[in-house]
């Protein structure tokens, strides 16, 4: 059985569809999750999709992914700019990591220009709206296939 792709979402992403729709759109997190599962199924993959407003919970899920994930897609939300704990947890993963953001943090407030995740990310995706999630599933599939040695 192939390990799933973990898709982890940080603080306030549970409010998608209501939170600053001029930045994040009107799509709910449940709709984003459905689009990830749909894209993963089309690629023959599974997704473990989670969201938490608590840094420690996200760290625990990253620890779970050490042995349980084929790849990590993470949108840490505001924790992107503050969490050394998430950085340190991600350093333990041997699978590809995609840092994902709905908006483009580089076009926003200066404090959002710094990411603690980028140094350990295999790739970053931002500014594609919630449509970036299924694209990240495709990109992860490509990264995992590329990393797997040919038999």
What is the rounded distance in angstroms from the CA atom of residue 42 to the CA atom of residue 141?
Answer: 11
**Closest residue by Cα to residue 117 from 90, 94, 137:** 90
The answer to whether the CB of 73 falls within 8 A of the CB of 8 is yes
Give alpha helix (H) positions in 6-151. Answer: 21-24, 29-42, 55-68, 84-90, 132-147
Alpha-carbon gap, residue 103 to 126, rounded angstroms: 6
Looking at the annotation, which residues are catalytic?
24, 101
Q: Quick one: tokens of 67?
A: 């042995």
């Amino acid at each position: 059985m192939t390990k799933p792709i973990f898709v982890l979402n940080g603080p306030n992403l549970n409010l998608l569809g209501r939170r600053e729709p001029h930045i994040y759109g009107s799509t709910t997190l449940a709709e984003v999750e459905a689009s990830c599962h749909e894209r993963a199924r089309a690629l023959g993959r599974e997704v473990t999709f989670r969201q938490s407003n608590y840094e420690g919970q996200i760290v625990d899920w990253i620890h779970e992914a050490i042995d349980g994930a084929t790849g990590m897609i993470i949108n840490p939300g505001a924790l992107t700019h503050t969490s050394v704990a998430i950085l340190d947890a991600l350093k333990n993963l041997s699978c590809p990591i995609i840092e994902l953001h709905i908006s483009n943090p580089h076009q926003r407030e200066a404090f959002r220009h710094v990411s603690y995740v980028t140094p350990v990310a295999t790739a970053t995706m931002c500014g594609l709206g919630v449509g970036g999630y299924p694209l990240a599933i495709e990109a992860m599939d490509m990264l995992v296939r590329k990393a797997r040695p040919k038999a």
